[in-house]
Each structure stands twice: as C-alpha cells, then as structure tokens.
Amino acid sequence: MTDADVDGAHIATLLMTFFFRRMRPIIENGYLYIATPPLYRATKGNNSEYCWNDVQLRQFIDRYADGNEDQVKVQRYKGLGEMNAEQLWETTMDPENRMLKRVNIKDAAEADRIFSMLMGEDVEPRRRFIEENATYANIDS
C-alpha cells in the first residue's frame, strides 16, 4: 500500500522491482497485490464519495452539483497519513470495499525495465526517455 499520488506510484514501482529481482516466486504464484487508496473524498450535502482519480471526481461534481466545483467540498489525500484509521479501513483495508490489483510477472518485468532505465548507470536510455516523454509528465502539486 502506497500513497495515491505520483510519489506512491514511484514507491510501488520500487517495491515491484524489489520483489521481481529478489522474491520472484511471490509474483509468479500470484501473492503480490497493490492496495489502492483513494486520491479524493468529495462531499456535497449528505452525499459523500471517495474518488480514486480525476474522472471519478468530475463525475461526482457533475452528478451532485451540476458541474459547479464551488458547491463541492473536496479533500485531496496527499498521503496515507492524512486519513484517519476509520477512513483507511473503509477505503483500503476492508475486504468488502478495498481495491486490490494483483501484480503479474509482466507488470513486475516492466517495472524492472523502467527502473533499470531510469535509475541505472547507462545515461543514454534515460536521456532518450526523458526527451520523448517530457510533455506527458504528470507533475503532482
């Protein structure tokens, strides 16, 4: 379980790479999962929902506030530490409600490839990747 933002995605990549390199049978046997906490909680009156991405947040705003963002209270979780124990249980730990993604060997192999490219000693693939993908960067504020 990591934060729902880009930093959390980076940590998840590091963890997948670790398991891929050091404990591959855990992945091969289907025992590695990523728990995904919500990024937002949106509230309008008595209606309150957790949203895992911007699309779900927009849908809530459209459904309950006719698209008017000013009428919706949005709490953005910058990290798991911003959730209280009850919220964390409700969204990420409770087997009835949690969203788990099983990591497969293809996911882990791709994480390992990207990790090696971005963090490895060979500069050229990293430079090429940055040049080709800089315009797609998700700069989380």
Domain of 121: which CATH number?
A: 3.40.50.670
How many Å apart are CA 80 and CA 107, to the nearest integer? 24
DSSP state of 29: T
The overall average pLDDT reported for the chain is 86
SS3 (DSSP) at 48: strand
Q: In the predicted model, is pLDDT for residue 134 greater than 80?
A: no
Residue 121, in any domain of the structure:
yes
Answer for the pair 68, 5: CB distance below 8 angstroms, yes or no: no
Q: For the whole model, what pTM was predicted?
A: 0.67
If you average pLDDT over residues 111-135, what whole number do you get? 78
In a domain, 67, yes or no: no
Neighbours of 94 (CB within 10 A): 10
Per-residue pLDDT of 1-54, as tens digits, reads: 888 877 888 888 888 889 888 998 999 999 999 998 999 999 999 999 999 999
Number of domains making up the chain: 1
| Mean local confidence (pLDDT), 105-123 | 79
Tokens of 67: 């698209």
Q: Are 111 and 17 in contact (CB under 8 A)?
A: yes
> Which structural domain range is residue 11 located in?
1-35+99-135
